[in-house]
């Protein structure tokens, strides 16, 4: 049976799950666009616009094996013009022939996308792989934003801390049906509602011509994740190079960031503001989107 997918047709579900009003007659102004980046590849993004046609105030970068739609509920709760970018190799952005998506390898393309789509943005937000990418980009291009929010990641991430995440993203390449790919997703995310996970899979997977399903990102094979230990340690220097205000958000139930990471973060960036978000795992935007939106609004207004 064919699965109907309308990219912006499920936003009312996002709103209802966190108690936001949703006017079906006047839905949010959001559209997809793309830019040709310096690498020659295209970078895709979602533009959340306002009635006043104000420029984007925030730029969001998602985590590995995610896409720009991971921020949908946060965007609805925030209610501000913003841009959510699909990282290279994810969502609707081009896959790279060399399969290299480390932060240092993509920051030129990300910086170009930010300058093209959100030249007046004041706050850069990144989670997991997107958080490391945001830090690397802002360290290399200080004019990209006035402040940065990093969600649940430091260069101290390794295979042990991210074991559950890598176990999920290094799974099968294809699935016999949509139900099969959803079933695996539910099994690895027991605290999330099936409705929200179904929505996430529809955004992050696609049906092949033979009826099987595959993820909408360049697969994280065991070979690509096997060198996670020590791969990002050089990025500690990037954290220390950032002069702009930094908000660091840690999920209270996440194993990805530990006390040693926070200590090193404070050593590198003494003025960092660290907030632990209760009842949240690694993907704070999925577990506590309304809380995250409020924290980002306060941070940007400070």
How many CB atoms are closer than 10 A to CB 54?
Answer: 11
The one-character DSSP state at 103 is H
Phi-psi category of residue 85: left, alpha or beta, with phi > 0 → left and psi -120 to 50 → alpha: beta
Choosing from 72, 282, 283, 287, which is the catalytic residue?
282
Listed residue (193, 176, 299) closest to 247, CA to CA: 299
Choosing from 62, 94, 109, 128, which is the catalytic residue?
128
Strand order in the sheet with 174-175: 174-175, 213-215, 205-207
CA angle 3, 6, 7 (to 5 degrees): 125
Choosing from 72, 109, 152, 287, which is the catalytic residue?
152
d(CA 248, CA 159): 21
Helix, strand or coil for residue 93? coil
Identify whether 282 is a catalytic site residue. yes
d(CA 156, CA 161): 9
Token code pair at residue 281: 């795992």
| CA–centroid distance for 137 within its chain | 15
Instruction: Write out the catalytic residue numbers.
Output: 128, 152, 282
């Amino acid at each position: 049976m064919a699965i109907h997918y309308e990219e912006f047709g499920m936003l009312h579900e996002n709103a209802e799950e966190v108690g936001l009003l949703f006017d079906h007659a006047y839905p949010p102004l959001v559209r997809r666009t793309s830019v040709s980046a310096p690498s020659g590849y295209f970078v895709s993004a979602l533009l959340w616009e306002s009635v006043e046609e104000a420029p984007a105030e925030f730029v969001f970068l998602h985590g590995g094996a995610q896409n720009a739609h991971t921020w949908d509920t946060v965007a609805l709760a925030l209610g501000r013009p913003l841009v959510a970018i699909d990282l290279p190799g994810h969502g609707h952005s081009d896959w790279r022939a060399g399969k290299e998506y480390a932060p240092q390898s993509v920051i030129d393309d990300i910086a170009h996308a930010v300058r093209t789509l959100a030249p007046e943005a004041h706050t850069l937000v990144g989670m997991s792989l997107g958080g490391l990418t945001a830090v690397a980009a802002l360290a290399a291009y200080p004019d990209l934003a006035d402040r940065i929010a990093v969600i649940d990641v430091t260069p101290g991430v390794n295979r042990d801390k991210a074991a559950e995440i890598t176990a999920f993203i290094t799974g099968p390449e294809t699935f016999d049906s949509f139900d099969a790919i959803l079933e695996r997703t539910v099994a690895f995310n027991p605290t999330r509602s099936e409705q929200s996970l179904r929505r996430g899979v529809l955004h992050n997977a696609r049906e092949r011509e033979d009826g099987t399903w595959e993820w909408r990102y360049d697969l994280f094979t065991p070979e690509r994740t096997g060198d996670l230990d020590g791969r990002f340690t050089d990025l500690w220097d990037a954290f220390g190079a950032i002069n702009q205000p930094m908000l660091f958000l840690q999920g209270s139930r996440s194993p990805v960031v530990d006390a040693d990471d926070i200590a090193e973060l404070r050593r590198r960036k003494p003025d960092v503001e660290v907030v632990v978000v209760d009842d949240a795992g690694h993907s704070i935007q999925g577990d506590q989107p309304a809380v995250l939106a409020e924290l980002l609004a306060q941070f940007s207004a400070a």
